[in-house]
Structure 1
């Protein structure tokens, strides 16, 4: 098992994290639209990969708060941030986002949240916490994000296709409107595997109901190589690009 993941400008150690660096986090860290100003909140930071990607993209100019429930993962994220080029841009906070209190309101909130709704519990308690919604139900996540989002701010996350309809229904019922939605496929002929998405509170859309800007992304081309679009999205991070 790999002890970490090397990006072009920083290294992520993840041997003490239940969830290792994966495609979902890399996609979200590259796809989320940065605010021109204001602070960023990373819910369920894990190893800190998404926070560090956003710090690289903003050149360390935006303050990022990274909240992580698991002790070992929070310690690892803290270490990863300390050894990165942006040690002062990111503050790792060990704690439960559901009890997290902050007067700060965030222009961007990102999350690669637990997503399993009905799957059998994992035998690994930390992995279960990271993957199953009983540790962070969608309704609670949406409510907390709403309380911490600045006016006009966006909530960006990535979810498997199997969880998308449940989340979208909960979000719409809670007063959120989808702004952007990207369907991700491994190849063009394969079913959608995950959705990248950006949501805004309806009250910030002045009573209008916008149609989300929809797009698709194929990770691999027909020949099995990484697609041009995927390479373009991750070119600043993947060593091989």
Structure 2
């Protein structure tokens, strides 16, 4: 059964085979620095959530969304067309590897696949969560090509992948500008990292810690403040 997740200014129709609204995407959509971007690329848009969050946060941006899976692409199209932001968002049913636009982007945003196809539990997850069509190396290499000189690429991934991702990014001269390490509960184990990369090696990068809940099933004040423009 399809379920609708209602935000303040748009709604997300969900489907069983498409990755549903989750805290990771909401955090990424809220914590990234998209305010001055004129052109944004959303890689693997899924339901269209990140594109819609970017459109709400930045009223001047035009957004290009890519989605390789047909069912997810159609769902994203529907969610976007039903919103007040449809005139600024264009969705393509296309793999990142085949995307060759004429322009470069001010900002690239992505909640990439986490699970390697060799992991035993990968069959339990939608293809959007599996590194069958898109892995970290491909994402970073292609993002570097698609960013303009001052562009920024923001993504979220499991904290345990941080070292390998940072190492590969450095090898292709993508440098972290901002790092947010996230735990589900205050003083708990860090389980996610949000990072913003650019082609410019900063003198000093911004690093911070963020937690979602202050106690089990009780949102932290910081999380409520961060998401107040989105959650009902």
Q: Which whole-Å CA distance do the structure 2 matches of 1:121 and 1:171 have between them?
A: 27
- Supply the distance in 2 between the matched residues of 1:107 and 1:16 (Cα, whole angstroms): 33
User: Which portions of structure 1, spanning 4 or more consecutive aligned residues, are displaced by more than 3 angstroms?
Assistant: none
State the Cα deviation string for residues 117-175 of structure 1 (Å, max 9, x = none): 45226336x81x31222321211111110111011110000111122222112111111
- SS of residue paired to 2:87: coil
**Structure 2: how far apart are the matches of 1:196 and 1:33?**
11
Are 1:32 and 2:32 an aligned pair?
yes
Point out where structure 1 has 5 or more consecutive residues left out of the alignment. none
Structure 1 position 69, deviation (Å): 0.5
Is the CA contact (8 Å cut-off) linking 1:41 and 1:66 kept in structure 2?
yes
Tell me the equivalent position of 1:181: 179
The partner residue of 1:214 within 195, 203, 207 is: 207
Contact 1:17–1:76 under 8 Å retained in 2: no
Task: Determine the structure 1 residue equivalent to 2:130.
Answer: 132
Residue 92 of structure 2 aligns to a residue whose secondary structure is: strand
TM-score, normalising length from structure 1? 0.90
8 A contact 1:17–1:46 mirrored in 2: no
Alignment of 1:16-27 (within 5 A): 17-27=17-27
**What is residue 231 of structure 2 aligned with on the other side?**
238
Aligned length: 231
Superposed counterparts of 1:84-95, under 5 Å = 84-95=83-94
Moved more, 216-225 or 65-74: 216-225
Q: Once superposed, what is the RMSD of the aligned Cα atoms?
A: 1.7
- C-alpha distance after superposition, 1:171-214 (max 9, x if no partner): 1111111000001111222100101110011xx34xxx533211
1:94-137 deviations in Å (ceiling 9; x for gaps): 1101111101110000000012245226336x81x312223212
Match of 1:196 among 194, 197, 200: 194
Provide the C-alpha distance between the structure 1 equivalents of 2:100 and 2:215, rounded to a whole number of angstroms: 48
In the aligned structure 2, how far is the partner of 1:149 from the partner of 1:35? 16
Displacement, 1:17?
4.5
User: Which structure 2 residue ranges, 5 or more long, are not aligned?
Assistant: none
Q: 1:40, 1:106 within 8 Å by CA — same for their partners in 2?
A: yes
CA contact (8 A) 1:17 1:47 kept: no
Per the alignment, residue 97 of structure 2 pairs with 98
Structure 1 residue aligned with 2:78: 79
